[in-house]
Chain A
Amino acid sequence: MESPLNRYRSFTVLVLVIFAQLVLLAVQVKNDQNVSVIRSWTVTAVSPVARVLEWGRHSSVGFIRNYVLLRDAGEENRRLQSEVDRLKVENVFLKNELNLADRAKALQSFAARVPSRTLAATVFASAAGSDSNAVLVDRGSVSGVERGMGVVTPDGIVGKVLKVYAMTSMVGLINDQDFAAGVATQNPQVRGVLKGQGKPMCKVDYVPFEDKIAPGDLLFTSGEDHIFPRGFPVGVVKSVRNGQPFKEIWAEPSGLRRGVPEDVLIILEGVHQDIPEAPSTQGVYINSSPPAAAQPEESASPASVGTEADRARAQAKAIGESQGHPFGSADGKIPDFNANHPLPPPPAAAPPGAEAPPASTRRANQAAGASPGGKQDR
């Protein structure tokens, strides 16, 4: 079979000769920019071809990479998935670290704020037994921990040390059935004993039925149990029922409100604090003016006017009249104002709505007057 080049030999030679002469021509001639035409033609001819070739190469590589070599995509996907998993774990770890740092900072701030000497500890296990309300902390006798020490957090008291080992200690939680602590409300201070019941809620015992306590009242340690110094938050009163001779009060311990804390403070040396003042809920009492019809006739006199000056004036006038002294003239002797003369009645009485403070408040006030801030005995 005759090849096309052989068949069109003459035309092929023509093209070659023309092309050769064109090249020859282009080599000699320069354009306006003093660039030889052959260079200009070459660049003009090659650039689009190169561009097309590059586009084709880029498209081919992209096609092969994106659609043909899916094996690489799968491998990359697995690698990325593995990296995502690793980053998730790392993220959780870092969040925990951050949370730990936040808790440690809060605990440190709290420890610095309270006057008692404390020791930070970490809860690392719960005691064996499904009904056990005790945990193990990582501080023991080596760190100075002793049996009976109180354990607190910024939220409230957590429990007390039951057993002490060299490196660890067992802490009975506030809701343990063997736990008890003296508590008091804010003003007026109602005192009682908080006892664990093995349930989330604790019972506040020994509050006389006449004491005033209501749901929502905050409970603080009273310092009477020789375990917790006075002034640490304990919990919130949830329900109150009247009973004989004591009220039935249930409270939610604030130290365990968010579960068993991971970081706690063991009170090595307790120092009493003041129980925070409750915000005043008593408004200003303004009595209404007495009705005019109820006033006696004498009340129209200046003596019935309630100021001390009016009373003194009325007294002086009565003394003078009783001794026959004519007020307003220069005659007559001067009356004896030191003579005994009954005073006019006081102008105002106590308002009918006002009540005397209850006995519990008086007692609380007396208790508040006791020496605060003493060192706790052990």
Chain B
Amino acid sequence: MSYSSGRILLSSQREGQVSRFRPWVILVVPLAAILFQVYIPLFFQFLKFLEMPLLVVVYFGLMRRNQIGGLLTGAMVGLAQDSLSKNPLGMHGIVNTLVGYFAASVGVRLDVDHGVIRFLLALFFYMFHQMLCWMIEQALPLGHQPAFKIDEWLVFGVLNAIVAVALFHFLDKLRESA
């Protein structure tokens, strides 16, 4: 693992390095994340807490530092998630769009290669994702009242953040070299 030095904030945008990925990576990785979320819990129930699509969106947003790319990736992944769930189309789409956009925005300012930053950002965006989902469910007349389980979200957020650090490290391998 080759993390950057102790500086967290970038002094200028030029300091941040824009990661480039091959097109198939951008297509296959989110697809794999979605498949993982819908398929793996069938066999391993305890892995249900993992929000792999969210983590992939965060990663691509942070690393590509392209807000439009980030929000489009989030929208596509979110809509795909909704298509495979009982939720109405657009619920995860909206949330992941916002996550992708803000992740790209944050990636411009922060040294996203730093492990701690990645952990914290993964935790933050997980909480942000859960919070937004809860708000949308609350706003829409879906026929049930969503539970506000902040402690559970925190635990799962930490677990997802830990997984995110490892996943991001793995995905760094798929970057094109400059």
Chain A interface (Cβ < 8 Å from any Cβ of B): 9-11, 13-14, 17-18, 21-22, 24-25, 28-32, 37
Task: Check B98 for interface membership: any CB of A closer than 8 A.
Answer: yes
In the docked arrangement, what's the CA distance between A31 and B140, Å? 8
In the docked arrangement, what's the CA distance between A155 and B48, Å? 119
In the docked arrangement, what's the CA distance between A9 and B67, Å? 9
**CB pair B88 A31 closer than 8 Å:** no
Given A10-B68, A17-B71, A18-B97, A24:B141 Cβ within 8 A? no
B101 and chain A: residue at smallest CB distance? A14
**CB pair B98 A28 closer than 8 Å:** no
**CB pair B142 A29 closer than 8 Å:** yes
Chain B nearest CB: distance from A288 CB in Å? 115
**CB pair B141 A17 closer than 8 Å:** no
**CB pair B141 A22 closer than 8 Å:** no
Residue from B68, B89, B140, B142 within 8 A of A13 (CB atoms): B68
Residue from A9, A18, A31 within 8 A of B94 (CB atoms): A18
**CB pair A18 B140 closer than 8 Å:** no
**CB pair B141 A31 closer than 8 Å:** yes
In the docked arrangement, what's the CA distance between A31 and B98, Å? 25
Other than A14-B71, A25-B91, give 18 A-B pairs with Cβ distance below 8 A.
Answer: A10-B71, A13-B72, A14-B98, A14-B101, A18-B97, A21-B79, A21-B93, A21-B97, A22-B90, A24-B93, A25-B94, A25-B136, A25-B140, A28-B89, A28-B90, A29-B88, A29-B141, A37-B141
Cross-chain pairs A/B with CB under 8 angstroms, 14 sampled: A10-B68, A10-B71, A13-B72, A14-B97, A14-B101, A21-B75, A21-B89, A21-B94, A22-B90, A24-B93, A25-B88, A28-B89, A30-B141, A37-B140
Which B residues are CB-close (under 8 A) to A32?
141
In the docked arrangement, what's the CA distance between A286 and B101, Å? 130
Binary contact track B117-139/A, C-beta < 8 Å → 1, others 0: 00000000000000000001000
Which B residues are CB-close (under 8 A) to A22?
90, 94
Q: What total of A-B pairs shows CB separation below 8 Å?
A: 55
Task: Name which of A11, A21, A22 has the most chain B CB atoms within 10 A of its CB.
Answer: A21
Q: List B78-134 residues whose CB lies under 8 Å from chain A.
A: 78-79, 88-91, 93-94, 97-98, 101, 104
Which A residues are CB-close (under 8 A) to B68?
9-10, 13
In the docked arrangement, what's the CA distance between A179 and B103, Å? 126
Which A residues are CB-close (under 8 A) to B142?
29
**CB pair B89 A17 closer than 8 Å:** no
In the docked arrangement, what's the CA distance between A30 and B140, Å? 9
Which A residues are CB-close (under 8 A) to B75?
17, 21
Given A21-B94, A24-B90, A10:B101 Cβ within 8 A? yes
**CB pair A10 B140 closer than 8 Å:** no
Chain B nearest CB: distance from A129 CB in Å? 103
Chain B nearest CB: distance from A189 CB in Å? 109
In the docked arrangement, what's the CA distance between A37 and B104, Å? 31
Chain A nearest CB: distance from B70 CB in Å? 9
Which A residues are CB-close (under 8 A) to B72?
13, 17
Task: Name which of B79, B91, B94 has the most chain A CB atoms within 10 A of its CB.
Answer: B94
Residue from A14, A24, A31 within 8 A of B67 (CB atoms): A14
Chain A nearest CB: distance from B159 CB in Å? 28
Task: Name which of B72, B89, B142 has the most chain A CB atoms within 10 A of its CB.
Answer: B89
Which A residues are CB-close (under 8 A) to B140?
25, 29, 37
Residue from A11, A24, A37 within 8 A of B89 (CB atoms): A24
Which A residues are CB-close (under 8 A) to B98?
14, 18
**CB pair B89 A25 closer than 8 Å:** yes
Which A residues are CB-close (under 8 A) to B78?
21
Chain B nearest CB: distance from A215 CB in Å? 103
In the docked arrangement, what's the CA distance between A22 and B89, Å? 9
Chain A nearest CB: distance from B175 CB in Å? 22
Which A residues are CB-close (under 8 A) to B141?
29-32, 37
Which A residues are CB-close (under 8 A) to B101?
10, 14
Which A residues are CB-close (under 8 A) to B97?
14, 17-18, 21
In the docked arrangement, what's the CA distance between A78 and B141, Å? 62
In the docked arrangement, what's the CA distance between A21 and B75, Å? 8
Which A residues are CB-close (under 8 A) to B93?
21, 24
Task: Name which of A25, A30, A32 has the most chain B CB atoms within 10 A of its CB.
Answer: A25
Chain B nearest CB: distance from A29 CB in Å? 5
